[in-house]
């Protein structure tokens, strides 16, 4: 192809709605959580501790601890969908609050962790802060 024809065939850059961006960020965040938890099973002593009924720093495995952990992980999972269907005002607030909340959770859980967890944790912090950032900067529409 000649250079004139190549210049005419510029790549399309579609504007992505904020709801889709937020949904994709929550999905990405969940993948990092899942891989972090999965790789954590390979840390020496983890499986033995699980078999003895302990959940690391959370202490003994109880129904309450498992319910709390399930709730903590269910929220980001459900946010993948909720970002697409909630009204903008509620959506914006939920994403700001939860984005900051999950950033804090990661900052609390990272000290003393293995390098793979810190690596994923840094990515998770970036993703959760992006969630809050995009929600804060939610585009406004003109009043009719």
Per residue of the chain (144 residues), give pLDDT as tens: 566 666 678 898 999 999 999 999 999 999 999 999 999 999 999 999 999 999 888 899 999 999 999 999 999 999 999 999 999 999 999 999 999 999 999 999 999 999 999 999 999 999 999 999 999 999 998 777
Instruction: Please check whether residue 48 lies inside any domain of the structure.
Output: no
pTM for the full model? 0.89
Instruction: Please check whether residue 51 lies inside any domain of the structure.
Output: no
Distance separating alpha carbons of residues 21 and 79, to the nearest angstrom: 12
Distance separating alpha carbons of residues 77 and 80, to the nearest angstrom: 6
Q: Say how many domains are in the chain.
A: 1
Give the residue ranges of DSSP H helices in the chain.
Answer: 3-8, 18-40, 46-51, 63-85, 88-109, 115-136
- Sequence-distant (≥ 6) Cβ neighbours of residue 103 within 8 angstroms: 125, 128, 129, 132
Instruction: Please check whether residue 4 lies inside any domain of the structure.
Output: no
Instruction: Please check whether residue 130 lies inside any domain of the structure.
Output: yes
Instruction: Please check whether residue 70 lies inside any domain of the structure.
Output: yes
Q: What's the domain range around 31? A: 19-37+57-136
């Amino acid at each position: 192809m000649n250079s004139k024809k190549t210049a005419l065939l510029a790549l399309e850059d579609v504007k992505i709605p904020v709801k889709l961006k937020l949904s994709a960020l929550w999905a990405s965040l969940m993948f990092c959580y899942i891989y972090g938890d999965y790789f954590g099973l390979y840390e020496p002593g983890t499986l033995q501790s699980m078999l003895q009924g302990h959940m690391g720093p959370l202490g003994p495995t109880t129904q309450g601890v498992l319910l709390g952990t399930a709730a903590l992980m269910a929220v980001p999972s459900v946010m993948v969908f909720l970002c697409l269907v909630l009204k903008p005002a509620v959506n914006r607030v939920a994403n700001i609050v939860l984005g900051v909340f999950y950033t804090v959770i990661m900052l609390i859980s990272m000290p003393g962790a293995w390098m793979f967890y810190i690596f994923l944790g840094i990515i998770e912090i970036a993703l959760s802060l992006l969630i809050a950032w995009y929600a804060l900067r939610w585009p406004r529409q003109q009043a009719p």
